Amino acid sequence: MKQFERADKIVNVFLKIMTRRFIFVLSAIYIFFSGPFAFAGNTGKISGKVINPQTGEGIPFVNIVVEETNFGAASSINGDFYIIGVPPGTYNIKASAIGYNSQTIKNISVSIDLTTKVEFKISETNVELKNEIVVEATRPPITKDLTASTAIINSKDISVLPITEFQEILQLKAGIVGGNVRGGRSGEVVYAIDGVPVTDVYDGSTVVDVNTSSIQELQFVSGAFNAEYGKALSGYVNIATKEGDDKFRGSFTAYAGDNLSNHTDIFKYIDHFNPLNTRDVEGNLSGPIYKDFASFYLNGRYYYNDGWLKGKKVYNPWDITINQGSTVPIESKYIIQQTGDGSIVPMNYDEKIAFQGKLTLKPSSAI
């Protein structure tokens, strides 16, 4: 019996030790995966209240739905509601309850790290004669929860700007000169894509580039930012990329051109026009993998710019210079090989090939 009791004690101690280790491992895994994503926010918040316009009191248990998404909430006993973790973008939000008119507010704009206020006013009605009210949302002139110097550019603004790179968006903002923010040095600006830092510690540029058509929202914080934006001294650039939804969508764009001028005294050979010297081909495709659960977004781009500086190919790197000695006249002392074919070649060309993909797992309905 004593041997069984000792064995039982040994087993209990072993189970306690293994349980503690298992909990420790789970905690370590949680910290490992949650740590990097706590660097900076990448979603917004919707809050508001549902009131009865006749009495001015809040209406409880009203269903609030962000249309074409799985986000939603139910109003509290005082009519208040909160929807967190909403990706940046423009949405239609609907409030409905039995015995009340439904109301839809269109074009509600949600931005990174900001709270969008919404107020529903729904009145009582007969169930058989239920009507729906549609309201067009307006952007408030003052954002009360915006405590830092912040510029927000959404995908609609980007689509009408004459730009090809997201760095050109920043150059249009006040306080940025040559990639430096408010007189700061290079390397003091932190770049993040979907909340993940992508700053090159060597020169302060971005390790990963993002095509402008893939950007859902770009947030540029240039001063008085919170502690969540660690390692940033001059500014913080947070980019939220687009996600797929439950509809298949796609687009394809292409353009071509060249630089042409008659000022050949400054730019040699720039009077030769070739419409394919500059070419940009880009396409994207998004849609559901499994409806209401997973979606994808794909983007690809090929860009080539021949530049505006041209030269004549007379020499090659392997050409040899022969010194004939001091007995030869100075004008013929050196013989330089010229194996170039004499063709006109670009001297500041730029070529980029980029492919981006994003897989989104949608949370279950919050209602």
Does 322 reside within a domain?
no
Q: Is there a domain that residue 193 lies in?
A: yes
* Interstrand relation of 180-181 and 235-241 (parallel, antiparallel or unpaired): unpaired
Q: Is there a domain that residue 297 lies in?
A: no
Among 223, 241, 259, which residue terminates a domain? 241
Residues 99, 123 within the same domain: yes
Report the Cα–Cα distance between both ends of the chain, in Å, rounded: 57
What percent of the chain stands above pLDDT 70? 80
Residue 33: CB partners within 8 Å, gap ≥ 6? Answer: none
Q: Which of residues 72, 104, 136 is at a domain's end?
A: 136
- In order of 186, 201, 207, 217, the CA distances from 231 in angstroms are 13, 11, 16, 22
The answer to whether residues 164 and 207 belong to one domain is yes
- DSSP conformation letters of 150-195: EEEEEHHHHHTSS-SBHHHHHHTSTTEETTEETTPPTT-EEEEETT
Last residue of a domain, one of 136, 170, 186: 136
- The helix (H) or strand (E) run that includes residue 103 is strand 102-110
pLDDT at 366: 41
Does residue 213 sit in the same domain as residue 157?
A: yes
Residue 342 falls within a domain, yes or no? no
Say which CATH number the domain at 83 has.
Answer: 2.60.40.1120
CB atoms within 10 A of CB 270: 17
Report the pLDDT value the prediction gives residue 280, as an integer from 0 to 100: 93
- For 50-109, the pLDDT digits (tens) are 999 988 899 999 999 999 888 999 999 999 999 998 989 899 999 998 888 899 999 899
**Mean pLDDT, to the nearest integer, of 230-256?**
87
Q: Does residue 32 lie in a domain region?
A: no
Query: How far is the C-alpha of 246 from the C-alpha of 295, rounded, in Å?
Result: 7
Shared domain for 116 and 173, answered yes or no, is: no
What's the mean pLDDT in 27-38? Answer: 39
Model confidence pLDDT, tens digit, residues 81-93? 999 989 898 999 9
Inform me whether the pLDDT recorded for 241 exceeds 70. Answer: yes
What does the radius of gyration of the chain's CA atoms come to, in whole angstroms?
Answer: 31
CB hemisphere CA count around 316 (13 angstroms): 9
Residue 355 confidence (pLDDT) above 60? yes
Say if residues 200 and 179 touch (Cβ distance below 8 Å). Answer: no
Domain ranges, residue 90: 44-136
| DSSP string covering 290-310 | ETTTEEEEEEEEEEEE--S-E
How many domains in the chain?
2
CATH code of the domain containing 202? 2.170.130.10
Same domain, 123 and 163: no
Single pTM value for the model: 0.67
